[in-house]
Chains A and B, each alone.
Chain A
Amino acid sequence: GESVGLHLPTLSVQEGDNSIINCAYSNSASDYFIWYKQESGKGPQFIIDIRSNMDKRQGQRVTVLLNKTVKHLSLQIAATQPGDSAVYFCAATYSGGGADGLTFGKGTHLIIQP
């Protein structure tokens, strides 16, 4: 099966700095990866995804990098703002079967210092 882990349970950054949140996965068959943001009292909010045929994908202020060789992905948030404070989860799945749900990492709590 798949296991997904995050390197740091808490990450504290200064407002305006860039944040990098890391994640590792174990199953080389996983081919679809998603980053979610969960604010206090809310459900997970989709941020960005990436498929295994890519190694980088950019969104608005966010970039996801995928290194399949070492089974590692990261989420980069540019110019962090107070509204970025949340718990960030990475998740992995195999999309080919169609029925597989996600395996989630443990989450990194991003704290933005003023």
Chain B
Amino acid sequence: SAVISQKPSRDICQRGTSLTIQCQVDSQVTMMFWYRQQPGQSLTLIATANQGSEATYESGFVIDKFPISRPNLTFSTLTVSNMSPEDSSIYLCSVRTPELGNTIYFGEGSWLTVV
């Protein structure tokens, strides 16, 4: 399996600020995704991080609120912009690659609380 590291693992953020979450994978992967898990809920796909091009966002998520970068095959960032308490969630990075049988693996998540 892939080893996926996320930073920060936890943070408490002030309303109106922005925070960038980093995702580092220990091997090159084809696909990287960002998910959100609100308290007590299931996971929802935010976007697919595309290397060298703009991310592909799911319905209900927009680039201005969740800008994403993917400069290479092992790294991606998700920014949560202009945060409000409703953004308090776990944000999870996941990867998928043929070399790993196309199984989708997750990092441990970044737990954000907005106050």
- Specify which of A45, A99, A105 lies most central, judged by the most chain B CB atoms within 10 Å of its CB: A99
Contact code string B91-115 (vs A, CB < 8 Å = 1, else 0) = 0101000000011111111000000
- Specify which of A43, A91, A104 lies most central, judged by the most chain B CB atoms within 10 Å of its CB: A43
Q: Is A82 engaged at the interface, CB distance under 8 Å to the other chain?
A: no
Contact of B103 with A46 in the complex, beta carbons under 8 Å: yes
Q: Is B33 engaged at the interface, CB distance under 8 Å to the other chain?
A: yes
Complex: A101 Cα to B32 Cα, angstroms: 9
Instruction: Choose among B44, B56, B106 the residue that contacts A99 (Cβ–Cβ < 8 A).
Output: B56
Contacts of B42 on A, CB cut-off 8 Å?
89, 104-107
- Interface set, chain B 78-94, CB cutoff 8 A to A: 90, 92, 94
A41's nearest neighbour on chain B, judged by CB, is B111
Complex: A103 Cα to B43 Cα, angstroms: 8
Contacts of B103 on A, CB cut-off 8 Å?
34, 46, 49
Chain A to chain B contacts (Cβ below 8 Å), 15 pairs: A36-B106, A43-B108, A43-B109, A44-B43, A46-B103, A46-B106, A89-B42, A93-B104, A95-B102, A98-B31, A102-B33, A102-B43, A102-B94, A102-B104, A106-B42
Residues of B participating in the A interface, judged by any CB pair closer than 8 Å:
1, 30-31, 33, 35, 41-45, 48, 56, 58, 90, 92, 94, 102-109
